[in-house]
């Protein structure tokens, strides 16, 4: 005959007193198999608490710990995401960038994804944004070389400035004029063709010269080299721009950067954004004059149009730089523009009033 005092139990239980006798009563659990417990006289014990089915109990404890760990990880990730978002939102306080963004973006939005039309229409669509009220915080002046005008934002306090010329092209007239306007500038120039360029940059200007083609990566790559009054395609030694700035000239702030490297500018520009290679090296670039070219190595490829389109949209999203004074050179089909850092304190403290 079955004993009526036997009953199913779960993983653990607590003995309670019934009719002057102590009897273990358990609540069944779906995590444990049914176990039968024989009635036991425990009148000599004041209490009894004991675990049963230790394997299932251990598994349950591990499971609970994993849930707690997952919850803590989720909370930490949420806090990190909110902090990062707040950091991005803080960049919006720059009135100069906001003015640029609010003027330029609506003029370009209908051409997003239309790479060819974007390239050909960019300067005409955005030139109306060059004289915004917010830009008065910048003291922008001009210097000329043989065939173009360079724009320079002057510091609002005395500073020792660093200037880098990538692609000298037998012409340092603009650098010389800049030196006359502001004396405390140290000049560094790089060009794969040393003939004429080295003498101009070192002896005429008083700067330091490096025989490199500076671009996005190290190695032997194609370059358009200016020699004997024309450009020739050659395989030259390239050095990565982040390495050149950090480890060759050893500067963390580049005040003025001029880039004319015949289509090798795109791998450089791609590194300018937040968390780009230049940014990771801790190098801040305050202002840039750059020529943007297309189809120099592969005519009608369209690759550079895509790169230009993507660079501009990334610039608008990144909230770090503004683009000013765009000029489309029709005879040679390239764009000149002036880019200014309005985010990094190393630059804004010097150039924004």
Mean pLDDT over each residue of the chain, to the nearest integer: 82
Q: Evaluate if residue 88 carries a pLDDT over 50.
A: no
Examine the pLDDT at 84 and tell me if it is beyond 60. Answer: no
Does pLDDT of 251 surpass 80?
A: yes
Dist CA 161 CA 173 (whole Å): 18
Q: Are 193 and 338 in the same domain?
A: yes
Q: How far apart are CA 104 and CA 96, in angstroms?
A: 12
129/17 same-domain check: no
Of 10-19, 172-181, 311-320, the poorest mean pLDDT is in 10-19
**Alpha-carbon gap, residue 27 to 12, rounded angstroms:** 9
Is the per-residue pLDDT at 82 higher than 60? no
The pLDDT of residue 232 is above 80: no
The CA distance from 272 to 287, in Å, is: 11
Indicate if 269 and 203 belong to the same structural domain.
yes
Query: Which CATH number is 305's domain given?
Result: 3.40.50.150
Q: Are residues 148 and 254 in the same domain?
A: yes
Q: For residue 332, what are its two tokens?
A: 């040679």
Beta bridge partners of residue 24, listed in sequence order: 15
Nearest-angstrom CA–CA distance, 341 and 309: 19
- Are 80 and 110 found together in one domain? no
- For 37-59, the pLDDT digits (tens) are 444 454 454 444 444 455 555 66
CA distance 110 to 276: 28
Residues 255 and 128 in one domain: yes
**What is the pLDDT at residue 143?**
98
Range picked from 21-35, 79-93, 281-295 for highest mean pLDDT: 281-295
3-state secondary structure the chain: CCCCCCEEECCEEEEEEECCEEEEECCCCCCCCCEEECCCCCCCCCCCEEECCHHHHHHHHHHHHHHHHHHHHHHHHHHHHHHHHHHHHHHCCCHHHHHHHHHHHHHHHHHCCCHHHHHHHHHHHHHHHCCCHHHHHCEEEEEECCCCEEEEEECCCCCCEEEEEECCCCCCHHHHHHHHHCCCEEEEEECCCCCCHHHHHHHHCCCEEECCEEECCCEEEEEEEEECCEEEEEEEEEEEHHHHHHHHCCCCEECEEEECCCCCHHHHHCCCCCCCHHHHCCCEECEEEEEECCCCCCCCCCHHHHHHHHHHHHHHHHCCEEEEEEEEECCCCEEEEEEEECCCHHHHHHHCC
Mean pLDDT of 324-343: 92
Q: Which of 42, 64, 91 is the last residue of a domain?
A: 91
The percent of residues above 90 in pLDDT, for the chain, comes to 58
257: tokens are 């950067």
pLDDT at 299 over 70: yes
Whether residues 181 and 324 fall in one domain = yes
> Does residue 60 share a domain with residue 35?
no
Higher-pLDDT residue of 35 and 275 is 275
Residue 281: pLDDT above 50? yes
Q: Mean pLDDT lowest for which of 32-36, 106-110, 153-157?
A: 32-36
CA pair distance 155, 252, nearest whole angstrom: 17
Q: How many domains does the chain have?
A: 3
Q: Are 32 and 56 in contact (CB under 8 A)?
A: yes
Lowest-confidence pick of 199-208, 216-225, 261-270: 216-225
pTM over 0.85: no
* Same domain as 209, residue 264: yes
The pLDDT of residue 48: 44
* Predicted pLDDT at 17: 45
What number is the average pLDDT over the span 129-148?
Answer: 96
What domain range is 37 assigned to? Answer: 7-52
Q: Are residues 264 and 250 in the same domain?
A: yes
- The rounded distance, in Å, linking the Cα atoms of 97 and 105 is 11
% of the chain with per-residue pLDDT over 70: 73
- Residue-level pLDDT at 18: 47
| 2 located within any domain | no
Inform me whether the pLDDT recorded for 192 exceeds 60: yes
Q: Is residue 36 part of a domain?
A: yes
pLDDT score, position 50: 42
Highest mean pLDDT among 23-27, 29-33, 212-216, 249-253: 249-253
65 and 109 both lie in a single domain: no
CA distances from residue 10 to 7, 52, 57, 185 in whole angstroms, order as listed: 10, 7, 10, 82
Residue 92's pLDDT is 56
For residue 191, being part of any structural domain is answered with yes
Phi and psi for 190 in degrees, rounded to 5? -135, 135
């Amino acid at each position: 005959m079955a004993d009526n005092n036997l009953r199913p139990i779960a993983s653990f239980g607590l003995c309670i007193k019934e009719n002057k006798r102590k009897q273990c009563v358990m609540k069944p659990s779906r995590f444990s198999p049914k176990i039968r417990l024989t009635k036991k006289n425990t009148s000599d014990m004041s209490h009894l608490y004991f675990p049963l089915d230790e394997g299932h109990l251990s598994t349950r404890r591990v499971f609970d710990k994993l849930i707690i760990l997952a919850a803590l990880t989720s909370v930490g990730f949420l806090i990190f995401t909110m902090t990062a978002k707040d950091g991005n939102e803080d960049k919006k306080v720059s009135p100069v960038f906001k003015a640029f963004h609010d003027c330029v973006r609506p003029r370009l939005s209908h051409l997003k994804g239309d790479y060819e039309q974007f390239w050909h229409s960019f300067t005409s669509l955005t030139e109306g944004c060059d004289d915004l009220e917010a830009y008065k915080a910048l003291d922008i002046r001009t210097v000329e070389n043989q065939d173009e005008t360079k724009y320079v934002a002057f510091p609002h306090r005395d500073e020792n400035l660093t200037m880098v010329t990538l692609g000298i092209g037998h012409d340092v007239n603009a650098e010389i004029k800049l030196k006359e306007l502001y004396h405390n500038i140290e000049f560094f120039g790089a060009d794969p063709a040393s003939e004429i360029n080295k003498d101009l940059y070192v002896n005429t200007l008083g700067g330091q010269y490096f025989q490199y083609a500076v671009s996005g990566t190290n190695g032997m790559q194609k370059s358009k080299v200016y020699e004997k009054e024309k450009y020739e395609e050659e395989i030259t030694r390239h050095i990565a721009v982040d390495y050149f700035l950090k480890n060759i000239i050893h500067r963390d702030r580049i005040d003025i950067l001029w880039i004319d490297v015949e289509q090798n500018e795109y791998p450089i520009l791609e590194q300018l954004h937040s968390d780009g290679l230049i940014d990771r090296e801790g190098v801040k670039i305050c202002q840039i004059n750059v020529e943007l070219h297309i189809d120099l190595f592969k005519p009608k490829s369209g690759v550079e149009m895509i790169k230009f389109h993507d660079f501009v949209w990334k610039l608008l999203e990144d909230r770090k730089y503004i683009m000013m004074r765009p000029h489309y050179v029709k005879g040679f089909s390239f764009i000149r523009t002036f880019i200014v850092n309005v985010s990094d304190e190393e630059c804004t403290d010097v150039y924004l009033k």
